[in-house]
Amino acid sequence: MAFDTYLDITGVEGECTAKGFEKKIEIYSFSWGASNPTSVGPGRDGLSAGRVSVSSFNVMKKTEKSSAALFAACCTGQHYDKATVSMRKATGTGGQDIFLTYTFTDVMVESVQWSGSSGGDDTPTESLSLAFAKVEIEYKTQDDKGKLAVAGQASWDLTKVSA
C-alpha cells in the first residue's frame, strides 16, 4: 500500500498543495535509524549493550520553495524548534489519515546536496540531513474497517541519553 510523506519544519514554507499539508514539504523518500552495539564474551551472563547511536534524518525531495532557506540554514547553523514528518495512507474514512509521525526537536540542517540531469527530471532532487536533539515516534495500526488506533509510541533525547 502506498503512502504519502510530508515534512513540516517550523518557519520553513514548502510548495505542497495536498489538503491538510499546504505549504509543507513533500518527501520522495527518507532514511534514518538507531543502532546499539552489543558484546558478549567470557565471564558475562549474556549480551551487554553499549550506547545507542541515532543517525540523522535523511530526506530526498524535489527542489522547491524551501530549498534556499534550508541551504541558508545549513550554512549558518540555524536551529529550528521542531520538524514533524507525517505519513498518511488510505483508510476507511474515504480519504487518507496519518499512521506514522516522527517529531524532532532542536533541529539543524546538517547537509544539503542537489542532483539532477538536464535531459531527465523536470526539477533537480535535493537530499537533506537533519540533526536533532530529541525524537518522538507515534505509530497507528489500521483495523479491518480502516480505522486507525495508536499502537506504539517512543521517544529518545540525545542530549540526556534517555527516553
Residue 1 has pLDDT above 60, yes or no: no
**CB contact burial 52-70 (16+ within 10 A = b; e otherwise):** eebebbbbebbbeebbebb
Measured in residues, the chain has a length of: 163
What average pLDDT does the chain have? 93
Residue 119 has pLDDT above 80, yes or no: no
24, 30, 49: which is closest to 102 by C-alpha?
30
136-159 pLDDT tens trace: 999 999 988 888 999 999 999 999
Which CA distances in Å does 30 have to 19, 40, 46, 116?
21, 33, 35, 18
In terms of pLDDT, which residue wins out, 117 or 64?
A: 64
Supply the DSSP symbol for 51. -
Mean pLDDT of 92-119: 93
**CB contact burial 152-161 (16+ within 10 A = b; e otherwise):** eeeebebeee
Which CA distances in Å does 23 have to 44, 56, 65, 101?
54, 24, 9, 18
Q: CA angle 91-31-33, nearest 5°?
A: 100
44-86 pLDDT tens trace: 777 777 889 999 999 999 999 999 999 999 999 999 999 999 9
Domains of the chain: 4-32+54-157 (2.30.110.20)
